Structures are given as C-alpha cells and as structure tokens.
Amino acid sequence: MHYRIGVDIGTTSTKAVLFDDKNRIQAIANEGYPTLRPAPDKSEQNPRQILEAVKKAIKQLTGQLPKGGHVSFLSFSSAMHALMAVDETGEPLTNMWLWSDNRAHKQIDSLKKEENWLSYYLKTGTPVHAMSPFAKLLWMKEETNLLEIAHKLIGIKEYLFYNFTGHYAIDYSIASATGLFNIHNLTWDTEILAQLKLNPRKLSEPVDVTTSFSFKSEQLSEELGLSSDTKLIIGASDGCLANLGTGANAIGEVALTIGTSGALRMTLEKPYLDPEGRTFCYYLAPGKWVVGGAV
C-alpha cells in the first residue's frame, strides 16, 4: 500500500500526519520547540532544532508503517514571514526570525511616512508591516552587515529543503508573503530588491507549489525511514493551506483560524488588493488566491 505524509512546520511545533492511499489518517506526530525572546520586539527560534524536530516527526510516522508500506511523497506547509541568514555551507548565521518578530517597527514607521509606501503592498500583496521579511531586511540593512556577508537569506522551509535536497527553493505561496515577490508576474520584484541593494542570487528560486524534489542522498532518506524514490513536494503556506484543508475554496466561503495568531481568509480566483493596504493577498495555486486579514 502507498502512503503519503503531510508536514506542517508551525510556530510552536512541527506536526506530521501519515495518510493511506484513501486519505485516511494512520498516524500523527508532534515535535515542539521553544521560542526565544532575547530582547523586546525580538522573537526567534533555533533552525537546527526545527530541522531535528521535522526529522523526528517523520521518523515517528515511518516507524509505524506496516510491512511493505511505501511512502510515495511528503508535502510541506510552513508558517509565513520567517527569515534567517546562512553561509556558503548552509549553516545558520542567525536564528530564525519569526512572523511575531517586531524589531523592524521603526523602519516600517519611517517607510509609511513616504508618499509611495502603498506601492510596496500593491505589487506584493503583503501588508507593509514589521512582520514581513522585507521589513526584517530593512532592519538588517540598517543595523548589521548581514546583507553583504550572507550567502542566502531564506525562510524555514527553504532551510529544510536545502538540508533535504541540496536546493534553495521557495514556493510561490511563501514567496508571496515576503513583501519581496511581485504577485502579478510571480517573480522577485526588481525595484524592491534594488532599494534594499540586495542581489537576487541571495534569494531562493521561486517554484510552484506542486514542484517536487528528490532526497540529496540515499543515506538521508534511509535515516528517515523512507526509500530514495520518495518525492518531496514543496507545498504552500500554512494560512493558504488552512483554506484548502477546511474546504473554504469557493466564492463566499470564509475560513477562520484561531491559533498563535488569528486570521479570516477567503479564496478568490485572482488577486484582490485593498486600496488602503489593510488586507493580505497570497498565492495558493494557479487560479487560487487567499485574501484576508490577521490579528
């Protein structure tokens, strides 16, 4: 029998679920990790701990496979707005800065005094807010030399995929929540990167949400209890997948999520942007955009 695994890299823990070929749940795993708050407005996690938590959750599930059971693929969800810097070997230069990290609030307050501040939102669909990777990069630019010395500037799923596959890739869904990604042409926005003086090579390659990868080594797949032909599907963001998972995918259907944050979301067939920049608009799949607001 063929199985599949869904992995959600969340703010408080990684959750993983094993499904059979009829989408019936066979096993569930949950591995937690702490959030670090080294100073006011800073909210961080250790990316190595998260990587190990993901591995442990997967191994818990594969350890429960019946004899002869085969996992065809794993697919991934993760929280949005995270950012970290890594060196040329993929080793972290920083902790993972979470969506709840507000260190860039002064940079955003200053940006919102500029006449054209709304243009950033109208291109990216990401609210101009300290949570976004764009804001975090503004802080890095002003307060550190990380933009110069980092090999890559990535989120948590990118870190995981690099360690599993050897590739730096980001799905359109997570990318559309960075404040750096033009949702109208599905590419990194050259004007925003130019303002940051950020080389696009320091960012991951944007790919669609169903893009699949292979494990970088048979040793790694065996460590996780998987075969070398098991595929890794990059997946999307947790917020967009909340609508998919709850079935709120038709016009007029709204999903309410109450978790570490709260959000109200609707799925539309094309991007919708608020003239005052108050809502978000993120990619879910071709012809599917998730629009809403958060607290």
The phi, psi pair for 121, rounded to 5°, reads -65, -40
Residues 37-79 have pLDDT tens digits of 999 999 999 999 999 999 999 999 999 999 989 999 999 999 9
Of the pLDDT bands very low, low, confident and very high (cuts 50, 70, 90), residue 137 is: very high
pTM of the model: 0.96
**281 phi and psi angles, rounded to 5 deg:** -145, 110
- For residue 283, being part of any structural domain is answered with no
Q: What percentage of the chain carries pLDDT values higher than 70?
A: 100
Tokens describing residue 111? 């940006």
Single-letter residue type at 210: T
The torsion region of residue 68 among left (phi > 0), alpha (psi -120 to 50) and beta comes to left
Cα separations (Å) of 230 from 6, 32, 55, 85, 202? Answer: 13, 25, 15, 29, 29
Q: Is residue 274 part of a domain?
A: no
Give me the mean pLDDT over the 274-279 stretch.
96
Residue at token pair 């608009």: 281
Q: Which residues pair with 257 in a beta bridge?
A: 263
Is residue 80 included in any domain, yes or no? yes
**CA 158, 164, 166, 172 torsion-angle sign:** negative
In a domain, 272, yes or no: no
Beta partners for 31? 14
The backbone region for 225, taken as left when phi is positive above 0, alpha when psi lies in -120 to 50, beta otherwise, is: left
Q: How far is residue 256's CA from residue 248's CA, in Å, rounded to a whole number?
A: 10
What was the pLDDT predicted at 127? Answer: 97
Asked whether residue 262 is assigned to any structural domain, the reply reads no
What CA–CA distance (Å, rounded) separates 142 from 180? 17
**In which band, very low, low, confident or very high, does the pLDDT at 295 lie, cut at 50, 70 and 90?**
confident
The average pLDDT across 158-168 equals: 98
Residue 232 lies in a domain: yes
Whether residue 33 is contained in a domain is answered as yes
List the helix and strand counts (H, then E) for the chain.
Answer: 10, 18
- pLDDT at residue 259 above 90? no
- Is residue 91 in a domain? yes
Average pLDDT, the chain: 96
Closest CA to 236 of 292, 169, 182, 191: 169
The backbone region for 257, taken as left when phi is positive above 0, alpha when psi lies in -120 to 50, beta otherwise, is beta
Scanning the chain, the segments in alpha helix (DSSP H) are 47-62, 105-111, 118-124, 133-143, 146-149, 156-165, 172-175, 190-196, 218-223, 238-246
Residue 261 pLDDT more than 90? no
pLDDT at 271: 96
Number of domain units in the chain = 1
Inform me whether the pLDDT recorded for 113 exceeds 90: yes
**CATH number for 18:** 3.30.420.40
Q: Is the pLDDT of residue 105 over 90?
A: yes
Question: What confidence category does residue 278 fall into, taking pLDDT thresholds of 50, 70 and 90?
Answer: very high
Report pLDDT digits (tens) over 207-252: 999 999 999 999 999 999 999 999 999 999 999 999 999 999 998 8
Full residue range of the structural domain in which residue 169 is found: 2-254
Burial class (CB in 10 A: 0-12, 13-18, 19+), 86: buried
